[in-house]
Structures are given as C-alpha cells and as structure tokens.
Amino acid sequence: MFKQQDEQIQQKMVSVTLDGEPRELPAGVSVAAGLFSIGEIISRISPSSGKPCSPHCLMGVCFECLMEIDGIQQQACVVEVQEGLVINRGSLGKKE
Amino acid sequence: MSRCYDVIVVGAGPAGLTAGACLAEMGVKALVLDEQHQPGGQIYRRVETASPATLKVMGPDYDRGLELAERFHKSGVEYEGGAIVWNVTADGSIAYSRQGKSQEIQGRYIIIATGAMERPFPLPGWTLPGVMGAGAANNLAKEAGLVPAGEVVLAGSGPLLLLEASILLKKGVNITAILETTEKIPSAQTFKYLPAAIRRTDFLLKGLNMLREIKSSGVVYHKGVGEIKAQGDSRLESVEAMVDGKTQTFPADLLLLHFGVIPNTHIFRLAGCAMRWHQEQRYWYPQTDDWGRTNCERIFAAGDGSGVSGALAAEYKGELCALEAARCLGIIPDYERDSLAKPLQEAINHDRWPRPFIDAMYAPKLDGSHFADDTVLCRCENIMVGDVRRAVSEGVREVNEMKIVTRCGMGPCQGRMCGPAVAEVIAAELRQSPERVGLLNIRPPLKPVPLEEVAEMELDEASQVQADLFKNMKK
C-alpha cells in the first residue's frame, strides 16, 4: 500500500519479533509506520467485529493500531521502533 | 515529593513549542510533555530529521517548523518525548506514562496544546484496511518517507484534502480520482466573506495555485459528490460514489478521507473545562478568555485544540498563554505582558482575514440523517448507525445514555472516533442541534495504562489520604 520513495533516507534496520517471527524494521520511526514500510498493513483483528483493521489516523486518536508491544497493549503509532521489540498482533499471529 | 513546575505544557506542535520556548526565555521553570518522540506535532512532524527531498515537497510552510524547533532548543526548556498524559486535574496535577513508568507531577499552570484531529466521518466500508485519514498518509510521508503505492482515491472536503492531493501529485502518485463533497457552486453566504479574504491575496493565491496544479495535472476531479462507499472483501478494492446524479466506481488500493479538522478535546473535558459549540464548523471547543485561559484558573488552551485556526495562529496563541502565565507567576508586570502581546494579537488578526471565507466555502454539510443504517459508527465496539437510531426511537436522548445502552463510545478510543458523529445522528433523529444531546463524559485514564504501572507510582502524602469510611457515623 505504501512504498519508500525518499532515497535520501538512510534507514538503519533493526531486528524485532513480529508475531513470533524475526523481522527487520527501520529504526526510529513509529512501529505503525515501520510495519507499513514492510507491507504489513493489518494492525489487528477487531475484537468486536472479528474483521482485520489497519491504522486509520496515525496520530494517536483512533486506536486501530492497538497491539501488544513488549507485553503491553499500546498504540503502535506512538511507540518508536527499537532493537529487540516484541510485537504481537494478537489473534492475527496465532492463526498463521 | 512529586516534581513541581511553574508551567507544564502538554503537546509540542506549533502552540506547545512556542509556549514552552517563550516561558523558558523568561526564566520560568517549564516542562513540555509530548506524545511524539520528536518536537513538531503533526504539522511539523519530524521536521528536524526530514530529508532535503521531504522538505522540498512539503514546501516553505513546513520549513517554518525548523525555526520553531531551533528557538525551542535554544530556550533550554525541559522536554520529554514519548510521554502519554493520562490524567489532568483542574488543580494542576498531571499523571503521565513514559518508558513504562507512570508518575504524577504538579504545575502551577498547565498549557494544553494537544491540537486538532481530522473529523471522523462514518461512511460505508470505512473500517476496511486501505481506508485511512489523509493526515495519516501525510504523517507517513513526514515520518518515514513513505508514499502511497497503487491507485489512490481522495475523498471528502476542505483545503487540506486538496493540499494532500497536490503533494501526492508532485510525488507522482497514481490518483484515480479526487471526490469532493463540497458543492460545485459556493453558497451566496460564502461571498459575504470574500471582501475580508481579499485583504490576504497572498493566501488566496496560494490556494488558487494549488487548484490550478490539480486541474492541470488532468487527474479526475469531481465536486458535489455524494454517497461515498468503500468497497472490498477483506481490504479496499474500489470506491463508489454518486457523481452528477450517476453512480460511478473507481478502482482503489488506498482511500484517503478528509472532512476537515476539529479540536481534540478529550483532555479538556477530562479536566472539567467548560465547552462551547461552534455552530458553523460543528465542533466543540474549550471556552477561553483572550489569553487562552479556560474556566479552570490553572488551565490554558493553546493552538488548534482551542478552536481550529491553523499553525501560525497556534504559535501566537501559544505565546499569549505563556505571557499570561508568566504574568500570573509574577515574572512580568501587566504592562509588559500587554506590550509583548500586542504584535501577537495583530498577527492573529492578520492571519484571520481569509478564514471566514475558507470556512464558509468548506463548511461541513453534516446531516446526521444522511448516514446509512448499516454504516459502522463506533469502530471499537462495532456499533452501527442503525443501532443508535433504534436506541433513540426507544427513548435515548443523550450521548452518555447512548453509550450505556449501546456501548457506542465505550471502546479503547473512548469515543474519539464516534463521538462527533453519534451526536449528529441523535440530534438529527430528534431534530435538534448536536449541542443539545451532550458530550461524552471523559474519565481517567485518558489513554490505556497498565494497572501495574499505576500501582507502582510514587504518590504524595496528599494523594494517599485514606478514605474515611466512618465519616458519617462520627457526627
């Protein structure tokens, strides 16, 4: 859905654990933006409708990017990517 | 003992940055708390680390953020990024979570500069992955240099929708259509404001230039569009809309919505600030005096959170709050505050000239009766517009009652996304103004925080006074 166009951005990639799998995300951006950059557009399965959600506002309002980061339910758009983060998108990961 | 500041500023957008810098320059002990990790807010997000390419595309208006950030750092004001404020009280205490720890701090004055948000606008299919706010796409560009891939449709109304469209065009994004809900011919009412707007030809020319760029690009651009629907199975595939009386379908991988901007008011309502209804723009904002003070003596509202008037006005408003707070603290006398404020007030007035015209041209044509019954209203709890209508027919008259009966607004976003629309739906059913159907009550925590973190907080003695369970029996 999104692609990296800005070649001047020197992105340092760091390793994180996403739904139990080792993945690389660009350091220093929000987790939500980082996931978009690697093509992971689904942030969670809505507990009320059972349907997949993707982040809507990316400014801390909508809570559609709520996911478990280092054991705590947090808004992925306000948490910065750091080496070693453990990210779980709940039922999304378990299904696979 | 908890930390104490003369002034605590919440938010580091144009208003918060200016307020914080101005206070520190006067020698006031101030702290700026910011949810983001770098100063700038939404409009100047990541401006300090932006690449030359990003700076070029975003234009000179974005560069302004660099000047603000420079002044901010030079002032030496204390700054904490990644701070999630989850409680504010009228007596000046703030609880916030940062790096997995929560703490309570005291401010003699609090300047809340939490800005605005895009007006959430429920339409069929807006919960599909692939539908997001135009501001969200803008943030991804500023933060991570990400650009939409595939076919993009922009829909909604307001100058920022067109601004985003022009930015995307410059980046070579494949826009299938721009669907504007604004009428083709502006109402006669709009032209009443034109003479005032002409005093700022520079501003109007900027807008006209933007429109010309969009038109000359040859992109499909419709006005007066209605009945916008996002369609797809597990993600967005196309957008359907009523164009010139005919239903048209546009293929899309990404639908960017924008229906104007409204103040982000949860924090004011939590603190108990009195709110006012803006009838033309259909939003709530905190009632303030000329300095930005709310009805709570210690709490100020600065920037777009106190009423949407743009980034430049936000700067001025932030500085006015800072001057009045400094006066109250005894740092500057009345006459100094007044003389420093004068150019700011003039700048606000200068900035304001074109606004009524733009506001009238893009006034939200909101009618709660237009939302379809099967549209998701509350995204968190999956409550439909029809559920809310049914509850009204069963006697519900107010938003808080609606929340209890239907769970609408009870999810993690605490009604940020459904609150404005649910009021519109109830009001339309009752043929009343949304002003009459109330505002959701906001209680701490403003954002979810682990109970463990709260339990580990170091509290003041004052916060530890035990409830006297036998108070009444002692009489």
> Out of B100, B136, B145, whose CB is closest to A58?
B136
Helix (H) or strand (E) holding B86: strand B84-88
Does the beta carbon of A86 lie under 8 angstroms from any beta carbon of chain B?
no
Contact call for A75 and B447, based on CB within 8 A: yes
The pLDDT, as a whole number, for residue B464 is 60
Domain definitions of chain B by residue range: 4-117+262-332, 120-259, 368-437
- Is the pLDDT at A94 greater than 60, yes or no? no
What CATH code is assigned to A14-91? Answer: 3.10.20.740
Contact call for B129 and A56, based on CB within 8 A: no
Give me the mean pLDDT over the B248-253 stretch: 96
Pairing of strands A13-18, A86-88: parallel
Q: What is the pLDDT of residues B386-402, one digit of tens each?
A: 999 999 999 999 999 99
Contact call for A4 and B146, based on CB within 8 A: yes
Model ipTM value: 0.93
- Is the pLDDT at A95 greater than 50, yes or no? no
Question: What six digits make up the tokens of B89?
Answer: 């009280």
Name every chain B residue with its beta carbon within 8 A of the beta carbon of A8: 51-53
CB neighbours of residue B238 within 10 Å: 18
Does the beta carbon of A96 lie under 8 angstroms from any beta carbon of chain B?
no
The pLDDT, as a whole number, for residue A10 is 67
* Closest C-alpha to A81, from A52, A38, A45, A41: A38
Contact call for B450 and A64, based on CB within 8 A: no
The pLDDT, as a whole number, for residue B365 is 80
Does the beta carbon of A61 lie under 8 angstroms from any beta carbon of chain B?
yes
The pLDDT, as a whole number, for residue B467 is 67
List, in order, residues 6 or more apart from B202 with CB less than 8 Å away. none
CB B129 within 8 A of CB B236: yes
- Is the pLDDT at B466 greater than 70, yes or no? no
Does the beta carbon of A95 lie under 8 angstroms from any beta carbon of chain B?
no
Helix (H) or strand (E) holding B386: helix B385-393
* Closest C-alpha to B374, from B126, B124, B128, B131: B124
Give me the mean pLDDT over the A73-93 stretch: 90
Q: What is the pLDDT of residues B44-88, one digit of tens each?
A: 999 999 988 889 888 889 999 999 999 999 999 999 999 999 999
Continuous H helices in B257-354: 266-271, 310-328, 334-352
Q: What is the pLDDT of residues B22-49, one digit of tens each?
A: 999 999 999 999 999 999 999 999 999 9
Contact call for A7 and B53, based on CB within 8 A: yes
Calculate ∠ Cα B21-B24-B26, nearest 5°. Answer: 110
CATH class of B4-117+262-332: alpha beta
Place of tokens 């953020």: B65
Name every chain A residue with its beta carbon within 8 A of the beta carbon of B43: none
Calculate ∠ Cα B316-B321-B322, nearest 5°. Answer: 95
- Alpha carbons within 13 angstroms on the beta-carbon side of residue B250 total 30
Q: What is the pLDDT of residues B104-157, one digit of tens each?
A: 999 999 999 999 999 999 999 999 999 999 999 999 999 999 999 999 999 999
Give me the mean pLDDT over the A55-69 stretch: 96
State percent of chain B over pLDDT 90.
83
Contact call for A56 and B379, based on CB within 8 A: yes
Q: How far is B68 from chain A (nearest CA, A)?
A: 20
- Is the pLDDT at B266 greater than 60, yes or no? yes
Q: How far is A93 from chain B (nearest CA, A)?
A: 17
Domains B120-259 and B368-437 share a fold: no
Domain definitions of chain A by residue range: 14-91
Pairing of strands B275-278, B261-263: unpaired
Helix (H) or strand (E) holding B311: helix B310-328
Continuous H helices in B124-171: 134-144, 159-170
Contact call for A62 and B139, based on CB within 8 A: no
Burial class from Cβ neighbours inside 10 Å (0-12, 13-18, 19+) for residue B248 reads middle
The pLDDT, as a whole number, for residue B463 is 62
Contact call for B127 and A6, based on CB within 8 A: no
What DSSP assignment string belongs to A32-52? HHHHHHTT----EE-TTT--E
The pLDDT, as a whole number, for residue A96 is 40
Q: Which residues pair with B5 in a beta bridge?
A: B107
Which amino acid appears at position B42 of this protein? Q
Q: How far is B309 from chain A (nearest CA, A)?
A: 19
Residue A8: pLDDT band (50, 70, 90) is low
Write the DSSP symbol of residue B382: T
Q: How far is B163 from chain A (nearest CA, A)?
A: 17
- Is the pLDDT at A6 greater than 50, yes or no? yes
Residue of chain B nearest A56, judged by CA positions: B132
Q: Which residues pair with B30 in a beta bridge?
A: B7
- Is the pLDDT at A66 greater than 60, yes or no? yes
Tell me which of A8, A61, A77, A92 to substitute to probe the interface with B (most B C-beta atoms closer than 10 Å). A61
Q: How far is B46 from chain A (nearest CA, A)?
A: 10
Integer Cα distance of B445 and B287 in angstroms: 23
Contact call for B413 and A5, based on CB within 8 A: no
What CATH code is assigned to B120-259? Answer: 3.50.50.60
State percent of chain A over pLDDT 90.
79
> Out of B264, B382, B413, whose CB is closest to A49?
B382
Q: What is the pLDDT of residues B304-357, one digit of tens each?
A: 999 999 999 999 999 999 999 999 999 999 999 999 999 999 999 999 999 889
Q: How far is A17 from chain B (nearest CA, A)?
A: 19
Q: Which CATH number applies to B368-437: 3.40.640.10, 1.10.10.1100, 3.30.365.10, 3.40.50.300?
A: 1.10.10.1100
Q: What is the pLDDT of residues B158-211, one digit of tens each?
A: 999 999 999 999 999 999 999 999 988 888 888 888 888 888 888 888 889 999
Question: What six digits make up the tokens of B416?
Answer: 């940020």
Q: What is the pLDDT of residues B97-107, one digit of tens each?
A: 999 999 999 99
Residue B214: pLDDT band (50, 70, 90) is very high
CB B267 within 8 A of CB B85: yes
Name every chain B residue with its beta carbon within 8 A of the beta carbon of A46: 127, 379-380, 382
Contact call for A61 and B416, based on CB within 8 A: yes
